[in-house]
Structure 1
Amino acid sequence: MSRLFTILIVVLLGCRVYAQQPKFVIEGRGQGTTYSLQYYAASAFITKELVDSVLAVIDRSMSLYLPQSLISRFNAADREGLVLDPHMERVVRRAMQVHRRSKGAFDITVKSLVSLWGFGAERIAKLPTQSDIDSVMQFVGMDKLRLRKHKLRKTDSRTAIDLNGIAQGYTVDVLAELLDDYGIENYLVELGGEIRSKGLKAAQQPFEIAIERPEGAQSSRFVLQLVDKSVTTSGNYRKVFDYQGKKIHHHINPKDGYPLQNNVASVTVVATTAMDADAYDNVFMALSPKEGVALADKLKEIEVYIIYKQDNDYKEAFSKGFSRYIKN
């Protein structure tokens, strides 16, 4: 899955290695971005070919850029629906849960709106009119989907789904599970800025993640220390422009069809799984800072750090448990 915004996380790793367990690094490209697996083990159990084969399987399931992928076939199909593979079923079920918990802020049926605004695979010659948006909004909404016994169907044949807001995090989780299967206990997996860690790095130290701040918000730059956690960052202060008084960027509001209009610049989410962190960073981008913090405080194992703009300056908001991950 190719993310349409610039990832705001930089991984900081020490150069020392365990005497008994050397560090192995696998790097490459996949899902329209780069990936890196760093792990400590007695031997190099994981190969690049194995990693690439896992990415290829997930692409055949959920890539919008492959005409014969499962998701592309669903989007092109009529209302009869399609039997999902285990990967896509896990992601769709989680997307439905996040949709409910976010009261509709997370919605995978926005694909047609994303394309309408020119953030899909094809470019557009002009921005949509209100009439264009109203037309597409008729078949947007999670209430148009039905998932029963591994089969996903839609009540409107025009409805199409986009899993880019959750599937890349899921891919990170699958790669982490691959390392787990080989008995590797200390690792960090990164794909397009989506990160999941387990155990410790060199010298029994936690993995460290530096949060890149928006320009003008460097006053409290910090580093996160993660053990058995995932982290993602999403932002809208790059690749954004104004049109008729509105901010135009790839985060689309499923309730009115327009790019989100709020003062949130970026969010960083810490969660147990990268899939949850990936999904909820979209949710927190859609909410006000107050609403975002309140939601994170209600959710189990979800913490958020929000940068927002107020009175021409950047401000910060934290959920209750976020500070325990900040390096002193």
Structure 2
Amino acid sequence: MFKGVFILYLINIGCFVYAQQPKFIIDGQAQGTSYGVQYYAPNSVVSKREIDSVLSVIDKSMSLYDNQSLITAFNKADQSIALDEHMSNVVRRSFEINRISKGIFDITVMPLVNLWGFGPNRVKEFPQPQIIDSILQFVGMDKLALNNNNTLTKKDKRVQVDLNGIAQGYSVDVVSQLLDSKGIENYLVELGGEIKVKGYKDVHVPFEIAIESPKNGKYSDVILQLTDRAVTTSGNYRRAFDVDGRRIHHHINPSDGYPVQNNVTSVTVIARTAMDADGYDNVFMAMTPEEGVNLANSLKDIEVYIIYEDNGQFKEAFSAGFHQYIRNN
């Protein structure tokens, strides 16, 4: 269903028991990827069936691979459709991130994503400029309107939306809300590399997360210690392929219709919600390192770690508050 995010791997999770409470682990498959939930509680209070049910409801709302989903119905519709709570939450936040990013984050890029071969079919040659220009006529979130009663309207019937760049993080948040409703105070939820943690893995010991390095596929020296935060990572070295001798990446610039070309290799975003972390990692991937750091520094509760190439060397850039989450070796 959603994008496969990359390069986060959990380490040392649950090596101890928080306040002597048992650790419960639930694993499964959903949204075209795997998920894992670890929580600490006196008794088992959440079932795999409950988690699967939550994720299934979200699929019925926003899965592009479900012909009966709400998002599929909207993409086929000529004008308007009433959204459910989940799709409304995600679309409303998408408008906000689109505004803050000055159009970089844009859920109407679906026709361009498909044109460049990141949909169902891979391309064998570069799309012609005239085709890209024709599609750009109905790309842009200014061609969408969401009113107060959660009706989403397209101003051009050709508009189609793709929520893969934000909905998986939202799914993590919704599963986390399920755990919250059960009174669970210490947990980790992971879905396709999108992660949210609450509380601790042991008394005052935060959860630890290592970040994969684009240099060699192994792990970087940056190990995060997180509590009550979400983290996602996105990179240009996984969902990519070669066409006519050129490397094509899945981040599409909605203003010109072409894949983003810059020196950013990966970004790791820490935020209050997994939805925000998921949405903003797309934004930072499309910016220069300096632009990304400046934007993160201007936002509340958003921190970013950027790995980029400079004259054949990998370099790093951090927002002002990111270092507080790095484990001291």
TM-score w.r.t. length of structure 1 = 0.96
Deviation at residue 191 of structure 1 after TM alignment? 0.2
**What aligned pairs does 1:120-159 form with structure 2 within 5 A after superposition?**
120-148=119-147, 149-159=149-159
* Whole-angstrom distance in 2 between the partners of 1:242 and 1:122: 14
* Whole-angstrom distance in 2 between the partners of 1:73 and 1:195: 29
Deviation at residue 265 of structure 1 after TM alignment? 0.1
Deviation at residue 249 of structure 1 after TM alignment? 1.3
**What aligned pairs does 1:16-55 form with structure 2 within 5 A after superposition?**
16-18=16-18, 20-55=20-55
- Could you tell which deviates more after superposition, 11-20 or 112-121? 11-20
* Whole-angstrom distance in 2 between the partners of 1:216 and 1:28: 28
Give the structure 2 partner of residue 283 of structure 1.
283
Unaligned runs of 5+ in 2: none
Root-mean-square deviation over aligned CA pairs: 1.6
Count of residues in correspondence between the two structures: 326
**Matched residue SS, 1:133:** helix
List, as ranges, runs of 4+ consecutive aligned residues in structure 1 with deviation greater than 6 Å: none
**What aligned pairs does 1:1-328 form with structure 2 within 5 A after superposition?**
1-4=1-4, 7-12=6-11, 13-18=13-18, 20-79=20-79, 81-148=80-147, 149-215=149-215, 221-243=221-243, 246-328=246-328
**Is contact 1:209–1:225 with CA below 8 Å preserved after alignment?**
yes
Deviation at residue 2 of structure 1 after TM alignment? 2.6
- Could you tell which deviates more after superposition, 201-210 or 110-119? 201-210
**Matched residue SS, 1:109:** coil
Deviation at residue 291 of structure 1 after TM alignment? 0.2
Cα pair distance change 1:239/1:84, threshold 3 Å: closer
Cα pair distance change 1:216/1:7, threshold 3 Å: closer
* Whole-angstrom distance in 2 between the partners of 1:131 and 1:289: 31
CA offset digits 1:126-152 (Å, max 9, x no partner): 431112111111100000001112100
Cα pair distance change 1:240/1:190, threshold 3 Å: same
Deviation at residue 110 of structure 1 after TM alignment? 0.2
* Whole-angstrom distance in 2 between the partners of 1:310 and 1:245: 22
* Whole-angstrom distance in 1 between the partners of 2:134 and 2:28: 41
**Matched residue SS, 1:36:** strand
Cα pair distance change 1:217/1:15, threshold 3 Å: closer
* Whole-angstrom distance in 1 between the partners of 2:256 and 2:198: 40
Cα pair distance change 1:220/1:7, threshold 3 Å: closer
* Whole-angstrom distance in 1 between the partners of 2:56 and 2:114: 24
CA offset digits 1:230-279 (Å, max 9, x no partner): 00000002343454675301111111111100000000000000000000
Deviation at residue 222 of structure 1 after TM alignment? 1.7
Deviation at residue 31 of structure 1 after TM alignment? 0.3
CA offset digits 1:22-77 (Å, max 9, x no partner): 00000000000000000000111111111000010000000000011000000000
**Matched residue SS, 1:258:** coil
* Whole-angstrom distance in 2 between the partners of 1:215 and 1:73: 42
What code does the residue aligned with 2:204 have? Q
Deviation at residue 14 of structure 1 after TM alignment? 3.6
